[in-house]
Amino acid sequence: MSQQTWPSLSRHICWLMAALAVAGLAVSDALPFLYTNLRAPINWTQPQLDDWKVEVQPRSVVPHVELKYHPNRTSTETADTDEAFLERLRALRQNRSSARMLWYDAAAGDGLTYPPFVDKALKLFNLKQVAFEIENSVLSKVSCTACKAGAGLLQHYIKSGKTDAELMKMIAQYCTNLSIQSPRVCEGVAQLFGSEVIYVLQRVNLGPDELCSFIIGDGCGDVYNPYHEWEVIFPPVPKPPRLAELPVPLEAAPFFKVLHISDTHYDPHYVEGANADCNEPLCCRLSSGRPASPNAAAGKWGDYRKCDTPKRTVDNMLAHIADTHKDIDYILWTGDLPPHDVWNQTKQENLEIIKETVKQMTEKFPGVPIFPALGNHESAPVNSFPPPYVNQVDISINWLYDELDVQWRRWLPQSVSHTVRRGAFYSVLVRPGFRIISLNMNYCNNKNWWLLLNSTDPATELQWFIYELQSAEFSNEKVHVIGHIPPGHSDCLKVWSRNFYKIISRYESTITAQFYGHTHFDEFEMFYDPHDLTHSNSIAYIGPSVSPYYDLNPGYRIYYVDGDHDTTTRLVIDHESWIMNLKEANLYGYPIWYKLYTARAAYNMKALRPSDWDKLLNDLTDNQELFEIYYKNYWKNSPARPTCDAECKKRMLCDCKSGRSHDRRHFCADVESKIDEGSSKSWKSWFYRGLTNSTWEQHTEEQGNIESNALGFSDVVYGVFG
């Protein structure tokens, strides 16, 4: 994912719809059918799904990682052979006499010029607010209205028989004439995204209400949509009894040292001294123009403004890691490699960036296993990941998945090729009794418009996930899950996230940690038993971004994971975040990477079990001093971070507690009430809360910082993007 730009397709498409929305609002009287619950009939048929069967696919059953001897490790005991260790694990297993069970259930005006009524509509429509909300993914009723108006008008034009070329030209002209973006960005977005959106809208039987609820989420109302309601199928195997309390990992036991890198957003066109304060979604390039002043010039090592990561910074970070952390056992690499120039990307350019970064990682960490996950920026256009049933050559995603299989094969066993080529997900047995499952979270991405055709478990990924977890449970394996978009993030489809949440609860004794990126911040996300919210059952670690985009320092994470021994929990023992102070690096000409904090020491945690993180969440709610430490680490100690008031604190802690997307009211009432009790009861806070309770609270699902003022929305701090 990416943070605060146009990383999410919905933001780009909503830009297009916002351009149409002004026209839509102005002509609503003339086109009343756009704003009723009656839908014009559309020729729509259920996509033909394939008959891919989960249980007949090959699995990774041979340990993939051979441990190396590191003399600086605490334990000096000679490790067992894999065979001996596996045999001892078998001896420890209980209730393993029954055979493995397999399952599979098969069961407006039509001119292309700027219309005269727009001036009148602009007086009624706060386009500036819509533009801000779209760019920062903090969507209120205003943006919802814009989405509905734009979607309705676009559907009207499609039905009226306009060609794709006419529609894209109209979209670009509206975008330019309303000054939503620069002409070249408007033209690029219309060309790159327009044909895909038109293709999908021609084939769905959804009105504007359903479309915008799907794209924006609860921020646009929880509209019931029978086309997008589905449930995964669990095997007829009872859930193992849960432990009263998970054991604390042994301090002196063997461990794995794990590097987590995410959201590199390497920009091959970054130019030191270029304009960092441009009027486009990505700056610091020659095409950004000349800086108006020395302060507007891009720094040598990066910039806090809308700029991605220069190659020298990526090279320096990898060299620093290789030199400082010589004893890394394996690497988690959770996606988002290309930059944020989403209006002019090509498939070929994105593939070249993938190849180059894979080459970098291979050269810097020879012999170190790397487990990658796919980000939402790897595709072109961004967020476009058609499911397998969309198999036409010109729109299929095979161009990306086939190349990923080639590149990832440097680190992954051949047995995963079939699932990588199908959906860019895989499962690998890392060590005896320990498995890593990498998910393609773009199938939960509500900015992936292809899911409007059919969002039912795209690529059969979640059903496959259940099969892998049940097989792991039968084999007494512990599992770490990796992906890009956190499942509780508002970019994740509500129905997908709801099913995922059930899976985590069912297999809580098997899944011992989850790892994601996407938000660019340093944070975490909690999971609870859906039937007992006092029982925390899983923790998702959300790693910091390498990219400074935007207002952030570059960073990465190191985890210490319970290793190979008889009583291993495979829990994360501790983690530390490392950063580079970008301001000082640009000032002195050379970056210095340093450890910002270690989780257990910074937050006074006994261990890093889900229950410990749940306790920390309560402590952060009650202890303002501790929260300020967390807030500093969340922003990677950026000097550009804004202040955080009570509303900001509520949003941040609610983000931590909401492992299920678009369901904040279900999880956050206690956190918000505690913060309200301790916060000022000034008229300003009261007025802001009045706004949030009516419409706004539901729409701030993204990572970011919300600042209120007496006028409501004017001080909204930049949020996080997908």
| CA atoms lying within 13 Å on the CB side of residue 304 | 21
The string of DSSP letters for 127-164 reads HHHHHHHHHHT---HHHHHHHHHHHHHHHHHHHTT--H
User: Residue 55: what pLDDT?
Assistant: 76
Q: Quick one: pLDDT at residue 107?
A: 39
Average pLDDT score over residue span 336-355: 95
Banded pLDDT at 120 (limits 50, 70, 90)? very low
> Dihedral of the CA atoms 40, 41, 45, 46 (nearest 10)?
50
H helical segments located in 424-482: 461-474
Which pLDDT band holds residue 141 (cuts at 50, 70, 90)?
low
Return the amino acid letter for 292: A
pLDDT on residue 43:
39
Q: Tell whether the torsion through CA atoms of 404, 406, 407 and 409 is positive or negative.
A: positive
pLDDT at 124: 45
* 518 annotated ligand binder: yes
Rounded distance between C-alpha atoms, residue 424 and residue 10, angstroms: 22
Question: Is the pLDDT at 221 greater than 50, yes or no?
Answer: yes
Mean pLDDT of the chain: 82
Tokens of 267: 């920009």
| Domain boundaries defined on the chain | 114-220, 255-270+308-675
Q: Is the pLDDT of residue 80 over 80?
A: no
Stronger pLDDT, 153 or 441, i.e. the higher one: 441
Structure tokens at 19: 């351009």
- pLDDT at residue 319 greater than cutoff 80: yes
| Residue 687 pLDDT > 60 | no
Q: Is 376 annotated as a binding residue?
A: yes
pLDDT of residue 38: 39
What is d(CA 463, CA 442) in angstroms, rounded to the nearest whole number? 16
Q: Above 80 in pLDDT, residue 711?
A: no
Q: How many CB atoms lie within 10 A of CB 43?
A: 7
List 709's β-bridge partners, or say none. 712
Least confident of 139-148, 300-309, 558-567: 139-148
- CA distances to 360, 363, 579 from 315, rounded to whole Å, are 8, 11, 15
Least confident of 432-436, 477-481, 628-632, 709-713: 709-713
Q: Quote the tokens at residue 712.
A: 């409501």
- Residues of the chain above pLDDT 90, percent: 58
pLDDT tens per residue, range 542-571: 999 999 999 999 999 999 999 999 999 999
Residue 379 has pLDDT above 90, yes or no: yes
What is the distance between the alpha carbons of residues 610 and 384, in angstroms, rounded to a whole number? 34
The pLDDT of residue 194 = 87
Q: What is the rounded average pLDDT of the residues 231-254? A: 94
Residue 100 has pLDDT above 90, yes or no: no
What backbone torsions phi and psi does residue 542 show, to the nearest 5 degrees?
A: -110, 110
Query: What is the residue type of 502?
Result: K
Question: What's the whole-number mean pLDDT along residues 162-175?
Answer: 87
- The answer to which of 212-226, 291-305, 428-442, 454-468 has the lowest mean pLDDT is 212-226
Q: Check the annotation: does 263 bind a ligand.
A: yes
Q: pLDDT grade, residue 83 (50/70/90)? A: low
pLDDT at 275 over 60: yes
Task: Specify the pTM.
Answer: 0.83
Residues 6 or more apart in contact with residue 654 via CB below 8 angstroms? 664, 667, 668, 671, 672
Count of other CB atoms within 10 angstroms of residue 56? 8
pLDDT at 318 over 90: yes
- Secondary structure (DSSP) of 553-611: --EEEEEEEE-SSTT----EEEEEEEEE-HHHHHHHSS--EEEEEEHHHHHT-S--SHH
Q: What does the pLDDT read at residue 11?
A: 52
pLDDT average, residue stretch 606-613: 97
Q: Is the sign of the CA dihedral 626, 631, 637, 638 positive or negative?
A: negative
Query: Between 127 and 228, whose confidence is greater?
Result: 228
The DSSP code sequence of 58-87 is: ----S---PPPP-TTSS--PPPPPHHHHHH
pLDDT of residue 717: 27
Instruction: Grade residue 708 by pLDDT with cuts at 50, 70 and 90.
Output: very low
Residue 666 labelled as part of a binding site: no
Quote the pLDDT of residue 82: 62
pLDDT digits (tens, 9 = 90+) for 48-71: 567 788 877 888 878 877 777 777
Tens-place pLDDT, residues 512-527? 999 999 999 999 999 9
Mean pLDDT in residue range 463-482:
97
Q: Which two tokens stand for residue 446?
A: 């509500």
Least confident of 20-29, 435-444, 522-531, 587-596: 20-29
Dist CA 584 CA 590 (whole Å): 8
User: Distance between CA 337 and CA 555 in Å, rounded?
Assistant: 15
- Is 243 in contact with 312 (CB distance < 8 Å)? no
Q: Give residue 128's pLDDT.
A: 52
The answer to whether 489 is a known ligand-binding residue is no
Please answer whether residues 568 and 430 qualify as being in contact, where contact means their C-beta atoms are separated by less than 8 angstroms: no
565 is in an annotated binding site: no
Averaged pLDDT for residues 265-276: 97
Residue with tokens 């994912």: 1
Q: Is residue 377 a contact partner of residue 338, using CB atoms and an 8 Å limit?
A: yes
**What pLDDT band is residue 3 in, cutting at 50, 70 and 90?**
very low
pLDDT for residue 468: 97
- In this model, does residue 311 exceed pLDDT 60? yes
CA neighbor of 331 nearest in space, from 543, 598, 77, 76? 543
Residue-wise pLDDT for 425-457, tens only, equals 999 999 999 999 999 999 999 899 999 999 999
- Say which residues have a Cβ less than 8 Å from residue 226's Cβ, sequence separation at least 6: none
Domain 255-270+308-675 has CATH 3.30.1360.120: no
- What pLDDT score does 86 carry? 60
pLDDT of residue 126: 52
Question: In this prediction, what percent of the chain has a pLDDT beyond 70?
Answer: 77
Q: Pick the range with the lowest mean pLDDT from 44-48, 396-400, 627-631.
A: 44-48
Distance CA 294, CA 722 (A): 31
**Confidence band of 19 (pLDDT split at 50, 70, 90):** low
More confident residue, 453 or 678: 453
Q: Which spans in 414-528 are helix H?
A: 417-423, 461-474, 494-506
Check the annotation: does 480 bind a ligand.
no
User: Tell me, what's the pLDDT at 91?
Assistant: 58
Asked whether residue 144 carries a pLDDT value surpassing 90, the answer given is no
The DSSP letter of residue 492 is B
